[in-house]
Structures are given as structure tokens and as C-alpha cells.
Amino acid sequence: MNEAALKSAEGDGWRWVIGLAITALVVGGVTASILVMPRAVEANSRACMAAYASDLHADLAEFGQDPAWQTRYVEALQACSH
């Protein structure tokens, strides 16, 4: 082999290594975002419910007996689901 062919082969090797490293970073980033996304959505829903329905009482007996409380709770759920 001549010297030019050896340099070309060496350059191709480094391109493969860099390409594989970039691919690994992209796949890792996508995987991490997929794993974190449900937790973020759940936290946002909890924060929305706390902000929207802060005046609602968490008394289960009252929830079963007071239709107005049920209506406000459903409204809060609908507002936070968007």
C-alpha cells in the first residue's frame, strides 16, 4: 500500500469513531428525554391542580355530599388537562 492509501484509511477510522460517538450521544439524549417526560407531565399536572383548586377541600366525605365541590374539581381537572 502506498502512503496516501494508509492516510485515507486512518482518516476513515476516525470518522467512524466520531460518527459512533455522536450517534451514542443522540440516542442517549432521546432516551433520557423519553424517561424524564412522564415525570415532568405528572409534576405539571400536580402543580396546576394545586394552583387552580387551592381553595378546594380534600375531605372525602364533603366530596361525596357536595355536588358543587365535585363540579369545581371536574372543572379543575379539565382546565389542567389542556
pLDDT level of residue 80 (50, 70, 90 thresholds): confident
Provide the pLDDT for residue 24. Answer: 97
Tens of pLDDT, residue by residue over 25-76, are: 999 999 998 888 877 777 777 777 777 666 555 565 666 677 777 787 787 7
Residue 9: what pLDDT?
Answer: 64
Task: Report domain extents, the chain.
Answer: 3-80
Please give, one letter per residue, the 3-state secondary structure of the chain.
Answer: CCHHHHHHHHHHHHHHHHHHHHHHHHHHHHHHHHHHHHHHHHHHHHHHHHHHCCCCCCCHHHHHHCHHHHHHHHHHHHHHCC
pTM for the whole structure: 0.48
